[in-house]
Amino acid sequence: MFKHLFMNKMKILLKNKAMLFWSLIFPFVLGTFFQLALGNVGEAFEMEVIPVAVVDNQYYQEDKILKEVISSLSKENENQLFNTVYVDESEAQKLLDNEEIDGYILLKEDNNPQMIVKTNGINQTIIKSVLDEYYQMSNATTQMINYNPEILYNGVLETLYEEKNYITDDSNENIDFSINYFFTLIAMTCLYGSLIGLEVIKDCEANLSKKGARMCMAPVNKFKMILAGLLAGYVIQLVALALLFLYLIFVFNINFGNQILPTVVLAMVGCLAGTSLGTFVGVSNRKSEGFKIGILISVTMTCCFFSGMMGVIDIKVFFDETFPLLAKINPVNIITDGLYSLFAYDNLDVYYNCLARISIFSLVLITLSFMFIRRKKYDSI
Amino acid sequence: MIVFKNYFNIVKRHLGIIIMFSAISIGVSVINTSYTSTEDYVSVEPKIAVINYDESSLSNNFVDYITERAEIVEVEDNEKAIQDSLYLNKVDSILIIPDNFGANLLMGNEPNVKIKKSTQNVSEYTELLVNRYFKIAENYSKVGMTENEIINNIEKDIQNEIEVKVSSENQSDMEKLAVYYSFENYAFLSIFTFIIGTIMCIFNKETIRKRNNVSKLNPKSFSNQLFLGHMTLTLSIWAIFILISVILYKDLMFTINGLLLILNSLCFAITATSLAYLIGCLIKNENVISGIQNVISLGLSFISGCFVPIEWLDTNIINFSKIFPSYWFIQGNYDITKLSTFNYETIQPVIQNCGIILAFGIIYFSISKIIIAKKVKN
């Protein structure tokens, strides 16, 4: 009997276009949009050659060291920092107004360079830093000569303007905040299992639909009927999620880390959380189906927003720090954090914490839903 | 105006969910704007955490030097905290100074500071700062200065900074304003599609449509009243968004930039209404509204620079997004906030941009009219 109920429910659900859209098509479409929007993100943060202008006046021509510094930084090689044009002041201002350069350098009578920029920004800051360095190095040279005039002859001064590196890069290549968008996408898909839960429960409860009333008349154990329906929906949601994982990994080369089993377990519990949320919203009130769908989608999308799906990751940080309790029970945030922990940490402490929280979330909703469902008997509907 | 009147009876019945949707969108817009980091300084201060294992005077002085030039963020000295702070963008880079660094540098052993970074271009600046300090320190040590002399001299050197002139002011708040207005792209598309779609579905119900068709009301007048109803509702929501921006950014909104932003936003609100109306004309089933609403609002927000900065997008995607009004609206917002001089030459592109947005609106409205005319004919 259970198999019969399960198979039939599966067939019914697979014919429900709206539900299939949310579980199967929407995450794929959104994932594609993410990739379109973020595919280039690595390049956006790469250091680019900064367009600058130098006002080519008499004072600049007289400053041999600055000329040498600017020209070596503008040489076309892998360390090129500036793309420099040499123009007069009015032309430089025009280029700045048209945003063709990030700033221009002007030397005046006192030989101190001045930098003119239109707006603030990292490129402008780098130009300033390079000029500061030049200025400070000249000062240091004077101090060194005063301290020990011999250096004019022993070669120390020559090394002063050479590029030298005091830094080793120890960054973890794995860290790329754009992956957070894909974690939230997986979490969102888990939560969209709620729509299946809602669909199943609507057809099983006599006070929610005509079909539910008819089903309650049938000589079938109600618990068995609901369980078979929810299980069928859960299986569909898991398959949809598996397809999404495959799509993201093989089509877009998204790296979810190497810990496959914990990822699968988290995804399975995540889908359970989605199904239980839908069941709870379904049984807890008698509003129209459209209203309940609207509620589930807006709740899910709001949870996604606070997990950093829309816009910069700062929103997630803000929410995590300002409303730590809500952040800890936001199911999208829990799944996102769990996936991130697998990706970033060597141990599984954070992962187990997330797994426990999402399991508790599901259990609470299942218990509440059960309280609404049980012991309902109708004399007449 | 019976249709117009009836329109608001339906709105009244759905008022709860309309208010909920609008409140969520407005709340999300405000939070999004408040937590968008904009650059407030002539020099951008990178967010740096320093973990110093070397307690020498030189390395302590270096930490002071970095503190003056960066926003120092406290990060616990463990792998998890370091990883989290980089991933969550709390820091741009973390500098780890090894034990005995100062002594090794003074002895000419060429020690290195470790860096862990998240963003390449901001970290580049950090590296410039670090290398500059140690280059001067090493050279001072080569000429025979003691640690204290080195520190004193470096402190004098680094006071010398060049003069910077910034030609436009108030950039940081203006940028926030652009973010707030650009978020309207998501909010308007999402709210308008939902509301108009829901109401159109009610009017498009077969029984109601048939009843309306046999009434003596001219179908043209019917659809015009309906569109007027949509416009009244959406422009009321638009007005709420504007009001909130005026409350939040009072000083900036009463400027020409502010007025131009309002104009740009009004054009987009009209176009978004037309788009939602077109979608409403095509929808037959109430269940598909949420799907279309989310695909359109999220999709256009991602590819037009509303959710992620336009600089992150690939050129092909940017070119593709130009066939939607969202791109022109968002671009318009950023262009307006950058304006510092106002004359025919600078304002003309903004007006042209508004014209493009409205042209999209006219196209969507015309297509809706054709669809309605065909339906009536059938």
Of B101, B122, B157, the last residue of a domain is: B157
* Chain B residues within an 8 Å CB radius of A125: 42-44, 125
Q: For position B98, which CATH number holds? A: 3.40.1710.10
User: CA–CA distance from B231 to each of B225, B243, B266 (Å)?
Assistant: 10, 18, 11
Contacts for B40 with CB less than 8 Å, ≥ 6 apart = A120, B172
Structure tokens at A134: 């030049």
Residue B270 in domain: yes
In sequence order, the 6+-apart residues with CB closer than 8 A to the CB of A206 are A212, A213, A215, A216, A376, A378, A381
Nearest one of B182, B178, B224, B233 to B373, comparing CA atoms: B224
What is the distance between the alpha carbons of residues B111 and B103, in angstroms, rounded to a whole number? 9
Nearest to B135 among A113, A164, A314 (CB): A164
Helix orientation angle between B344-377 and B256-282, rounded to the nearest 10 degrees: 20
Q: What is the gyration radius of the CA atoms in chain A, in angstroms?
A: 31
Same domain flag for B135 and B180: no
Q: Residues B260, B148: one domain?
A: no
pLDDT of amino acid B40: 41
Question: What ipTM did this prediction achieve?
Answer: 0.73
With beta carbons under 8 A apart, name residues in chain A contacting B116. 170-172
Least confident of A238-252, A262-276, B246-260: B246-260
B9 close contact with A: CB closer than 8 A: no
Query: What is the rounded CA–CA span in Å between residue B66 and residue B128?
Result: 11
Percentage, residues of chain A above pLDDT 90 = 24
Q: Tell me the nearest-neighbour CA distance from A151 into chain B, angstroms.
A: 7
- Residue finishing a domain among B157, B184, B200: B157
B131–A165 CB contact, under 8 Å: yes
CA distances from A87 to A48, A82, A126, B258, B360 (A): 22, 15, 21, 35, 42
Could A180 and B87 be called an inter-chain contact, meaning their C-beta atoms sit closer than 8 Å?
A: yes
Please state, in angstroms and rounded to a whole number, the distance separating the CA atoms of residues A334 and A323.
Answer: 14
> Which of A33, A156, A314 is nearest residue B298 as measured by Cβ atoms?
A33
Q: Name residue, tokens 């799944």.
A: A335
Model pLDDT, residue B36: 59
Specify whether B18 is located in the same domain as B117: no
> Helix A260-284 crosses helix A331-344 at what angle (to 10 degrees)?
180
User: Do B237 and B324 share a domain, yes or no?
Assistant: yes
Strand partners, A197: none
Q: Please answer yes or no on whether A40 and B86 come within 8 Å at the CB atom.
A: no
Q: Any chain A CB within 8 A of the CB of B323?
A: no
What's the residue count for chain B?
378
Q: Say yes or no: A253 contacts chain B, CB-CB below 8 A.
A: no
B177 touches chain A (CB under 8 A): no
Q: Looking at the structure, do residues B244 and B366 belong to the same domain, yes or no?
A: yes
Residues B131 and B182 in one domain: no
Option in A37, A169, A344 nearest B313 (CB): A37
The verdict on residue B164 lying in a domain is: no
Residues B128 and B243 in one domain: no
> Could you tell me if residue B126 is inside a domain?
yes
Range(s) of the domain holding residue B52: 47-157
Give the dihedral of Cα atoms A285, A286, A289, A291; nearest 10 deg. Answer: -70
For residues A335-353, give the mean pLDDT.
Answer: 88
Residue A121 has pLDDT above 60, yes or no: yes
Provide the token pair at A105: 């350098």
Out of B83, B120, B166, the one facing A345 most closely (by C-beta) is B83
Return the pLDDT at A308: 87
pLDDT tens digit sequence for A25-55: 889 998 998 888 877 666 666 667 889 898 8
Encoding tokens for residue B99?
A: 């034990």
CB B101 within 8 A of CB B107: no
Token pair 């945030």 is found at A333
Q: How many beta carbons lie within 10 A of that of residue A131, not counting itself?
A: 24
Rounded (10°) CA dihedral B45, B51, B57, B60: 30
Domains of chain A: 2-39+181-373 (no CATH), 48-160 (3.40.190.10)
Does residue B90 sit in helix, strand or coil? Answer: coil
- Shared-domain flag, residues B125 and B185: no
- Banded model confidence at residue B41, pLDDT cuts 50, 70, 90: very low
Residue B173 lies in a domain: yes
User: Could you tell me if residue B162 is inside a domain?
Assistant: no
Rounded to a whole number of angstroms, the distance from the CA of B345 to the nearest CA of chain A is 12
Whole-number Å distance between alpha carbons of A124 and B121: 12
Point out the residue among B86, B118, B171 whose CB comes nearest to the CB of A119: B171
Q: Is residue B42 part of a domain?
A: no
In this structure, how many other beta carbons lie within 10 angstroms of the beta carbon of residue B174?
A: 25
The answer to whether residues B207 and B306 belong to one domain is yes
Judged by CB atoms within 8 Å, which residues 229-288 of B form the interface with A? 285-288
- Same domain for B234 and B353? yes
Residue A377 in this model has a pLDDT that exceeds 70: no
Which of B248-252, B264-268, B319-323 shows the lowest mean pLDDT across its residues?
B248-252
Judge contact between B345 and B255, C-beta under 8 A. no
Kindly state whether residues B124 and B264 are assigned to the same domain: no
Average pLDDT, rounded, for chain A: 84
B31, B12, B247: which is closest to A305 by C-alpha? B31
Q: Please say if the pLDDT value at position B38 is more than 60.
A: no
% of chain B residues with pLDDT over 90:
21
Q: Looking at A134-148, A315-329, A331-345, B67-81, which range is the least confident one?
A: A134-148
B41 in reach of chain A (CB within 8 A): yes
Q: CA nearest A160 in B: which residue? A: B139
Tell me the one-letter amino acid at A196.
Answer: I
Task: Answer yes or no: is B219 within a domain.
Answer: yes
- Out of A120, A156, A169, name the one closest to residue B171 (CB): A120
Query: What would the pLDDT profile of B278-293 be if each residue is shown by its tens digit?
Result: 998 888 777 788 888 8
Which tens digit of pLDDT belongs to each residue from A82-117? 888 898 888 888 888 777 888 888 887 776 778 888
Which residue's entry shows tokens 């409140």?
B23
Contact between B143 and A156 using a beta-carbon 8 Å cutoff: yes
- Is residue B293 assigned to a domain? yes
- Minimal C-alpha gap between A42 and chain B (Å): 8
Whether B28 and B59 share a structural domain: no
A175 to chain B, any CB pair closer than 8 A? The answer is yes
Residue of B nearest to A42 (CA): B312
- Flag whether residue B169 sits within 8 Å of chain A, measured between CB atoms: no
**Rounded CA gap, A253 and A241, in Å?**
16
The domain boundary, picked from B100, B122, B157, lies at: B157
Q: Are B125 and A122 in contact (CB under 8 A)?
A: yes
Strand partners, B114: A168, B96
Task: Name the A residues in 259-288 with CB < 8 Å from any B CB.
Answer: none
- Count the domains in chain B: 2
Of the partner residues B131, B132, B294, the one whose CB lies closest to the CB of residue A26: B294
Q: What is the pLDDT of residue A264?
A: 92
Range of weakest confidence among B24-28, B114-118, B121-125, B298-302: B121-125
| Average pLDDT in chain B | 85
Judged by CB atoms within 8 Å, which residues 98-127 of B form the interface with A? Answer: 110-122, 124-125, 127
Contact A128 B312 (CB under 8 A): no
B51 - beta bridge partners?
Answer: B96
Residues 6+ apart with CB under 8 A from B23: none
Angstrom distance (rounded) from CA B271 to CA B362: 7
List pLDDT tens digits, range B128-169. Answer: 888 888 888 888 888 788 888 888 888 888 777 777 777 665
Residues 114-143 of A with CB under 8 A from B: 114-126, 128-133, 135-137, 139-140, 143
The minimum CA-CA distance between B220 and chain A, rounded to whole Å, is: 30
Cβ of residue A340 closer than 8 Å to a chain B Cβ: yes
Say if residue A196 is exposed, middle or buried (CB neighbours under 10 Å; 0-12, 13-18, 19+): buried
User: A317, B88: Cβ pair inside 8 Å?
Assistant: yes
